Amino acid sequence: MQRKAETSTMRRLIFVAVMLGAVCFAAVIVRLFKLQVLDFGFYQKEAVTQQTKDKTLYPVRGAIYDRNMKALAISTGTEMVTLEAVKIEDDKQGQLIAETLSEILALDYDTVLAKVNKRSTYEVIKRGVDKETADKIRAFIKENKINSIYLVGDSSRSYPYGNFLSHVLGFVGTDQQGLYGLEKQYDDVLSGTPGRVITATNARGEEMPFQYEMYYEAEDGRSLVLTIDEVLQHYLEKNLEIALNDNKVQNKVTGIVMDVNTGGILAMATLPDFDLNDPFTITDAKEAARLASITDPDERREERSIILNAQWRNKAISDAYYPGSTFKIVTMSVGLEEGKVSLNSHFYCGGSKKIEGWSKPINCWKRGGHGDQNLAMAIKNSCNPAFMEIGQSIGWRTFEEYYEAFGLKDKTGIDLPGESTGVFFSTRSIVDLAVLSFGQNFSVTPLQLITAVSAVANGGTLLKPYLVQSVLDAEGNTVASCGRTEVRQVISADTSALMADLLEGVVTTGTGKNAYTAGYRVAGKTGTSEKKDKEALTGDDSLRISSFVAFAPADDPQIAVLIILDEPTVQPVTGGLTVAPVIRRFMEEAMPYLNVEPQYTEAELQQKDETVPSVKGMGRAEAETALKNAGLSSRTSGSGDTVTDQIPAAGAVVARNSTVILYMGESVPDKLITMPNVRGMSLNQAKSALQDRGLYVRITGVTNTKEGNLAVTKQSIEAETQVAFGTVVTLEISDMDQRAE
């Protein structure tokens, strides 16, 4: 019995053992199935990671050029710091590496330490490291005999002109990715394609021989050639800065220059701007101080983001505004195209116009009224009642159709991020139609307006604005190009030509007189609009936007220019006085640069500045003849036979018929003159005040008429400045009657 029991127990043990073995075997089978089938991809990846080293080869970002191939954004040679953390000897060395790299490279210590502790075969610590910094790391490597830190060739983005074209070019982040402007819009074109080096490694993480390496070359980014002209951009930015400071503008200034025949943007700027090489520094001192006063870190971080985004915002394409009387260009174009008005039309202005459904009359800027006017006079005077009458004759339906046809309800489609559009009327009342006709209570962006005005200038075709005219490969070959894109024909060529004549009259004898540019035919329109939206929030009804839009030459338009001053504070804040002179200064530089030949009238020739020739060493008669031929008179000082000195010096530019002093055997008096303040004086008063002190005058501004209230509004040398005897002072003359437009 006992033997049977033992046998039975043995059988049970054997059975249990067999069953356990079967279970274990099944578990092994299941485990193998999971490892080799279900988790194959994961373990294959892990094995490859342990047995290979994968390095990224970064491409060189493409450059950005202006239309004449001047480099505006370039990638320069730098170095990249990488870490092969598997080679770090111990934690002590790892901590030393993290501390030193974070200090030299100005990085967060914990971030670097995390990369050290990963013990991976390849980590990028920092890109775009300059040579001086890289040399410090080399010294650290050599001193501490470290074999896990590498420096390899890299590139970083730089902008040779700093603040230049900042709101258009934009900038890149630390990894060379486009964050703003054209850098963001064309990031996929500029950035190129990264390459890779995949190297086999042994069990110790060491690289295997060359034959175990796969190399995929990086493809450098392509370059952009813009429609921007660096010279015109410089002229625009310089004159905007003068306007910003002279008028103490509170809410930025902006300007656009467009090629009216292609839609290409020749210049675009918003000021104040920022340094593209340091875009994250807040440039507004008041905003920086306010930010510094915020103690809560989260609140400060949020406010910093708001301030920076406002700093980077491109006002020319992102901020809609009431266009004011510049919109009268559209109103009159529609009226002419539809046959509602003609050159024979007449309008009466008594200072206001009563509109049905509105309790109070709507005023003209000239409260006394303009009386009876024909069409040309109505636009020269920028008369609101006349334009309300034109708007009523057009009617809502037709007017809105043209508004859409001019592209004012849609984004233009320019190749820049951040473009917005304006707000049109939500109702269609007769009062809305009245204020629409003179540019109030609806909004457009500056880009929308200049695109519409360019259509009026170029024969009536609305064009799509653009900034990139071609894309180049790494060898400089053109691989893509862009040019004139027609959207639609809006008005006829006849209406366009008539509008050019009418708008030229605005500049020669109308509210735009201060934009008059001697020798060049400039057409344009003033604008002064209220800020009703901000008035509703602040209660301040004094805030204005002053603007001027122009194109030239009026008989063969090439460029259109729009300049806007948002909340100027130096009175009077009108387009005719505040912005028109800015347009003139720009045109005086732009027209010669664009090879537009000046055509002077007889009256302009009499006012034309002359360059003083050198007559030193000549006899009296010869010198007097040379000066007379140059349009200058002369008088002598001394009794010698030969000119030993002259005032003004050779090369000085002075008003025609100025008197040059010839020193016969004498030298120019060595004395200083205190510059007087001649602002507000008439031209004759200012000339007398300066000439009495032995100073010379050069005149710019309104020189085509003796009518109006002409006065000196700027002088090139500030009052109380000490200057040499015979110094030339440039006086800017404005017609002070242009107070409301």
CA distance linking residue 374 with residue 143, whole number of Å: 88
Residue 246 main-chain phi, psi, to 5 deg? -60, -35
157 SS3 class: strand
224 SS3 class: strand
CA 372 to chain centre: 43
Provide the greatest CA pair distance for the chain.
Answer: 161
How many Cβ atoms from other residues are within 10 Å of residue 619's Cβ? 14
CA distance linking residue 537 with residue 91, whole number of Å: 61
CA distance linking residue 8 with residue 394, whole number of Å: 114
Which candidate, 604, 647, 607, places its Cα nearest to that of 627? 647
The DSSP line for 672-694 is EEEPP--TTS-HHHHHHHHHTTT
Mention every residue, 6+ apart, whose C-beta is less than 8 A from residue 224: 62, 63, 64, 65, 182, 186, 189, 190, 468, 470, 471, 472
CA distance linking residue 340 with residue 347, whole number of Å: 13
Which candidate, 154, 156, 141, 142, places its Cα nearest to that of 83? 141
Under 8 Å between Cβ of 180 and 311: no
Q: Which two tokens stand for residue 299?
A: 């609140």
Which is catalytic among the residues 166, 325, 382, 443? 325
CA distance linking residue 281 with residue 283, whole number of Å: 6
- Helix-helix angle 328-337:384-394, to 10 degrees: 40
Under 8 Å between Cβ of 547 and 567: no
Which DSSP helix (H) or strand (E) runs through 31? helix 2-33
Q: What is the DSSP letter of 513?
A: G
CA atoms within 13 A on the CB side of 116: 22
CA distance linking residue 165 with residue 535, whole number of Å: 32
Under 8 Å between Cβ of 179 and 157: no
Which residue(s) pair with 673 in the sheet?
723
325 SS3 class: helix
Which candidate, 203, 200, 213, 196, places its Cα nearest to that of 86? 203
Which residue(s) pair with 172 in the sheet?
178
Under 8 Å between Cβ of 648 and 726: yes
CA distance linking residue 408 with residue 421, whole number of Å: 8
Q: Which two tokens stand for residue 375?
A: 């069409």
CA atoms within 13 A on the CB side of 53: 27
Per the annotation, the verdict on 634 as an active-site residue is no
CA distance linking residue 463 with residue 454, whole number of Å: 8
Q: How far is CA 549 from CA 324, 326, 526, 735, in A?
A: 11, 7, 7, 18
Which candidate, 49, 58, 81, places its Cα nearest to that of 195? 58
Computed over its alpha carbons, how large is the radius of gyration of the chain? Answer: 37
Q: What is the DSSP letter of 92?
A: H
Under 8 Å between Cβ of 435 and 426: no
Q: Which two tokens stand for residue 452?
A: 């519409």
Give ∠ CA 49-52-58 in degrees, rounded to 5: 95
Q: What b-and-e string marks burial along 205-241, b requiring 16 or more CB atoms within 10 Å of the CB?
A: beeeeeeeeeeeeebbbbbbbbbbbbbbbbbbbebbe
534 SS3 class: helix
Q: What is the DSSP letter of 576?
A: I
Residues acting as catalytic residues: 325
